[in-house]
Structure 1
């Protein structure tokens, strides 16, 4: 009898041990401490995203080892995270698992990384998150992890919970500097808007201002600084319409510059004169300390990365 072939060792044993269903479940449940069927207080929901951070302390100790392990590889060395670490899209746990992976890659670096570590957010983890989005966005509608059908039929979630999770699936497209992703993002927010308009009988008030939303490249930093709707009377519809506007008004910036000029400093890119004037015009939005800017520039010139965790741990 011939010998039984032995399975080849994994090229990513550290990732296999860390990028687990239990990690993704912890992340999703901590980001969404809400009943799936009871209406959400969207004033608190917006506050906990834009004005406070009750989330990252709950998962910090669990996610740092995974983030550090990912940073030991180059983008070209990493496997397809969607296919390797998520269940098959037909699995009932797929939507929540996929959301957990996206939050790990897109949201948590923005909350946890300080100083020079922030370069990893925009030049590394954002790219991984965008890869994951492109792995699921082309799936049939009934399998997509963001679809109303999936969360309603499989997860048994109400409308409030669905629009809340859908925000986090879509924000990855808004963070992308690719024009293709920005165009996909417009379609994404329109899908959400139409569902909510039909269900509520209300028309998004920003529809009458589409020329401004898609034409004013200073609108996003201005609206971001103003923050989400607040007050105990904030409705689900108000939140959806505001969040859709905020994501859509990323597009005119990428249309004009092909990138977000405020990220040039933290990614070590050289700004054009036009970009420098733009950054001055939007004030101190996403300002990077001069010392950090110099350190990033030295790393980029030398073709190296300061190890993740240097300024954050």
Structure 2
């Protein structure tokens, strides 16, 4: 790699992790004006049942993911500090959300086969680092903040943005992130309730939700609420429930058993029972699991992109 002045190596990410890329990701994932009403039935369908997003951004995203994959977790710079504006900058919320989408959502859409290991064991780590960074900012500087005073006209867009800000915590196997996810979704729930003057119906069964070991596979397979009766409030309350039911799995196992294969981990007897009872929900295929297990044993990573062909 070429050097700059005083032989300082050129930054391989500078031309890739750009404001233009981050804005592209946000505008592709949330193609709305902030005061615009959103059809949340379509919104959920595009997230869980279709993928209009991936094909729009793959050409710009893939080179950035490849470059990030070549650095290594131990040598990765602070992505927020290096490639985002200051939290006081008015563009910070959009730029920060774009970086989160790059690290959390894009690998889930684009990485297949053995490359799934990159999604969960590499890019998720980076996403969670970024999320912790903005989560602990002063409230007035957080990119997910609700406007003060209340601006009900922004509620639709804010619900959409908050969903994408929060997924990094729900995707984590760390219990502290799961606790943060609960706090995050409760804040979302409370604001939606206050602004809309509607009460979340899932509050009635909250204790059961937080103990339901099979809730996440069941609800994910059931899919998002669809149809003319879906409102911004009903979708937000459903999404909060979906976030919350991740935690019982981590509480019970300390990790997601369905990810054992993509981490190259052996499952315990209890985890194998859970995997069988959920009909192997979210589990990688046997051939992928075998190859990843061998890579982990040998201490190697297949270059990102090669594993998608496996």
Alignment TM class, shorter chain as reference: over 0.9
Q: Does 1:298 align with 2:303?
A: no
1:151 and 1:162 in contact (8 A); partners too: no
Match of 2:267 among 267, 271, 284: 271
Q: 1:115 to 1:262 in 2, by over 3 A?
A: same
- Pairs aligned (count): 306
The partner residue of 2:52 within 51, 54, 61 is 54
Could you tell me whether the CA contact under 8 Å between 1:177 and 1:260 is conserved in 2?
yes
The two structures, once aligned, show a CA RMSD in angstroms of 1.8
- The correspondence of residues 187-206 of structure 1 with structure 2, limited to 5 A, is 187-206=183-202
Equivalents in 2 of 1:257, 1:8: separation in Å? 51
Whether the 8 Å CA contact 1:95–1:150 is kept in 2: the answer is: no
Structure 1 counterpart of 2:18: 20
Does 2:88 correspond to 1:115? no
- Runs of 4+ more than 3 Å apart: 6-12, 150-153
Asked if residue 169 in structure 1 is aligned to residue 169 in structure 2, the reply is no
CA–CA separation in structure 1 for the residues paired with 2:255 and 2:117 = 15
Distance 2:149 2:45 in 1: 24
Deviation at 1:23, TM superposition (A): 0.7
> Residue in 2 aligned with 1:3?
none
Change (3 A) 1:128 1:157: farther
The answer for the alignment partner of 1:280 in structure 2 is: 276
Deviation at 1:74, TM superposition (A): 1.2
In the alignment, is the contact (CA less than 8 A) between 1:196 and 1:237 conserved in 2?
yes
Using structure 1 for the length normalisation, give the TM-score: 0.94
Match of 1:64 in 2: 62
Match of residue 230 from structure 1? 226
Unaligned runs of 5+ in 1: 1-5
Partners of 1:195 and 1:167 in 2: CA distance? 13
Shift of 1:287: 2.6
Structure 2: 5+ residue stretches without partners: none
What TM-score do the two structures reach when normalised by structure 2? 0.95
- Looking at structure 2, the residues matched to 52 and 117 of structure 1 have their Cα atoms a distance apart, in angstroms, of 21
Instruction: Give distance in 2, aligned partners of 1:160 and 1:127.
Output: 29
Q: Distance in 2 between matches of 1:240 and 1:270?
A: 36
Q: Tell me how far apart the structure 1 counterparts of residues 290 and 153 of structure 2 sit (CA, whole Å).
A: 47
The alpha-carbon deviation at position 52 of structure 1 amounts to 0.4
Worse-superposed segment, 236-245 or 32-41 = 32-41
- Pair 152,64 (structure 1): closer, same or farther in 2 beyond 3 Å: farther
